[in-house]
Amino acid sequence: MADFVVDFSKHGDPSSDGRLNSPAFQRNHQPILEVLERLLSGGAGDVLEIGCGTGQHVAAFAEALPHLIWRASDPNSAHVASAESWARYSKLANILPPLQADASTSDWGIPIPGDGFRAILCFNVIHIAPWSVAEGLFAGAARILSPDGVLVLYGPFSEGGAHTAPSNAAFDQSLRREDPAWGIRDISEIENLAKEHGLFLNEAVQMPVNNQILVLTPIQREQ
């Protein structure tokens, strides 16, 4: 299997009810959850995942953070079907039906809760997609996040134009070989894009195997 997966339905056997499995999810969901528990503790709200892949993150996080309403989305219909199956399998009442959505479009077609989303999550997407997806993600997040909401990115990032580990440099090369429009994004690019859309990089959390979580918030909360 490639180091990165763009279509989980082409890797491994799905369960009989169509639930796809991501080995990366098995490795990363617990450390990600520990950060989300801190960011999203207390108070009700809605969380949207962009580029959900198999849909396992929403199923796991909805169980761990039951005070929130969760919805997954992805442009790939096989991924949306898998997310539907995971939601059904979980039997949790706080998961809304997943939707097909392409972050690079100007209207994601996702119903927006009255007070906006408390969080938008996007894990391992913007380096395996053209930059227009990051642009669409930030524009959309600025449109539909609540004023105290957070945009949470997870993945590898470079800093000051330099990779943070040799493995990330090799991964970046393999991404760019696959598609020259892909590649590990630099935190300075993220900060510039955030500023264009009225967002601010509030926090960068070091995660296992040279990944990071970036937490972005609407700019009026800048301190």
Ligand X SMILES: C[S@@+](CC[C@H](N)C(=O)[O-])C[C@H]1O[C@@H](n2cnc3c(N)ncnc32)[C@H](O)[C@@H]1O
Residues that bind ligand X (CB under 6 A): 4-6, 22, 24-25, 50-53, 74-76, 79, 102-104, 123-125, 128-129, 133
Q: What minimum distance in Å lies between the beta carbon of 50 and ligand X?
A: 5
Task: Please say which residue, 40 or 213, places its beta carbon nearer to ligand X.
Answer: 213
Task: Please say which residue, 124 or 164, places its beta carbon nearer to ligand X.
Answer: 124
| 35: nearest Cα among 211, 187, 220 | 211
CA distance 175 to 128: 7
The structure tokens listed for 210 are 């040279």
Task: Please say which residue, 65 or 175, places its beta carbon nearer to ligand X.
Answer: 175
| 175: nearest Cα among 130, 112, 207, 211 | 130
Q: What minimum distance in Å lies between the beta carbon of 167 and ligand X?
A: 16
Q: What minimum distance in Å lies between the beta carbon of 17 and ligand X?
A: 19
Task: Please say which residue, 77 or 219, places its beta carbon nearer to ligand X.
Answer: 77
Task: Please say which residue, 99 or 125, places its beta carbon nearer to ligand X.
Answer: 125
Q: What minimum distance in Å lies between the beta carbon of 130 and ligand X?
A: 8
Q: What minimum distance in Å lies between the beta carbon of 178 and ligand X?
A: 12
Task: Please say which residue, 50 or 214, places its beta carbon nearer to ligand X.
Answer: 50
Q: What minimum distance in Å lies between the beta carbon of 87 and ligand X?
A: 15
Q: Which residue is nearest to ligand X (CB)?
A: 53
